Amino acid sequence: MTNVMKTQVGIIGAGPAGLLLAHLLQISGIDSIVIDGKTREDIEGVVKAGIIENPAVEVLVESGVTTPEQLAGVRHDGVEFHFDGHTHRFDFKSLINRSVWLYPQHETLIDLIAARVRAGSEPLFEHLAEDILDADTDHPRIVGKTVSGEPFEIQAQMVVGADGSGSIARKAVNGSQFAGFFREYPFAWYGILCEAPPSSEELIYSRAEEGFVLISTRTDKIQRMYFQCDPELDASTVSDAEIWEKLQRGVTGTTLKQGPIFRKDVLRFRSFVAEHLNKGNVFLCGDAAHTVPPTGAKGMNLAFSDVLWLNEALREFFTTGSRALIEKYEENALNRIWKAEHFSYWMTSMLHVAPDATEFDKHRQLGELYMLTESEYGNKLIAEGYTGWAYGASWK
């Protein structure tokens, strides 16, 4: 027996995009069902990076997801770039009076799920979407199975694929999972988590001789650091001593505080924008619609931009019947998507050394870093992109 459910908006994926959309829709009195194949514990328990941009913090706080108290003490008013033996601080606060907050993504997910529970609309976990049927009609359906094998169907007026980079919803919109625009990179990140106090008050992004190094943090006791590596590298083959040498060589004037390394992984990445973001009443948002390389931590912040546009379009549809903003969703969302695609690509290409880089390429790259850091306008450009461009749509 198939369990049939009905709702106005069926949302695949209880990640930041799907959960924020459900939250904002509910503020406008629009009913939704969020499903996800994972358990709540899996979603809340996997420690993830999180730099929340200024506009995203405003949405999370003002719409009642995260309290200002939770964000107290994690505001960062700048980042450092290290290159060619130099250190440079981008002082966001004095440049453009903006900041970012280092609040891990799983904490945002915990807050967003708590908001769904408070609204009496807990996501359906362990519900795996398999397909979207009748995608071309005004009554699309999500079909799938629970992890214990029971079939379910969600009958909706609108279906949203917020189901991440492995999205099954892309097929309904673009005919295939891969239709879109890609860029691959010839390097990956070797990431560690270690038990140590922070080595630096602010994040350090370094373009070292051997490539990129990033010194980040999770808590007072847990640190996250990365160095550029071959995408084919087996993480287990690198010794702790080699890791610390690589990381230490990457930074200038900072002695890293070492401690036991308890996780090592190789993170591969790419840039991708799906060919189309919606078809009829089926929509893509967040990583289902686009992915960016991690440099600059744009992923979740960009997902929220899509969500605000989509929320506005669905709100207009359900309150007035007009499809005007639905028809504009793709065009509206793509403006910020391509800016963030560029910014993430730019940060990546500026700070990594490609395996086939020539001496010309390396000198040119340093020229770019000097040009940018010595210019007031360059500093402001980085500050503006890093702390996040204002969202075009409002949830209020």
Residues forming contacts to ligand DHB in the complex (CB under 6 A) are 49, 51, 203, 214, 216, 224, 294-297
> One of 205, 226, 329, 391 is an active-site residue; which one?
205
Could you tell me if 369 and 81 are in contact, meaning their C-beta atoms sit under 8 angstroms apart? yes
Q: In the complex with ligand DHB, which residue's Cβ is closer, 35 or 51?
A: 51
Q: Which residues lie closer than 8 Å to 114 by C-beta, 6 or more apart?
A: none
**Of 7 and 228, CB closest to ligand DHB:** 228
Q: Which is nearer to ligand DHB, 28 or 200 (CB)?
A: 200
Catalytic residue among 298, 329, 352, 391: 298
Shorter beta-carbon distance to ligand DHB: residue 82 or 224: 224
Minimum distance of ligand DHB from residue 72's CB (angstroms): 19
State the minimum distance, in angstroms, from the CB of residue 187 to ligand DHB.
14
| 76 catalytically annotated | yes
The bridge status of strand 204-208 relative to strand 78-83 is: parallel
Could you say which of 76, 88, 127, 352 is catalytic? 76
Q: State yes or no: is 185 an active-site residue.
A: no
Q: Which two structure tokens, joined as six digits, stand for 230?
A: 């071959």
CB 236, min distance to ligand DHB, A: 20
Q: Catalytic pick from 38, 104, 294, 329? A: 294
- Cβ proximity to ligand DHB: between 205 and 309 the closer is 205
Burial category of 278 from C-beta neighbours within 10 Å (exposed 0-12, middle 13-18, buried 19 and up):
buried
Tell me, yes or no, if 345 is annotated catalytic.
no
Minimum CB distance to ligand DHB smaller for 309 or for 386: 386
221 is catalytic: no
Q: Which long-range contacts (CB under 8 A, 24 or more apart) does 324-327 make?
A: 326/278
User: Shortest distance, CB of residue 188 to ligand DHB, whole angstroms?
Assistant: 13
Give min distance, CB of 222 to ligand DHB, in A: 11
Active site residue 294: yes
Active site residues: 76, 205, 294, 298, 386
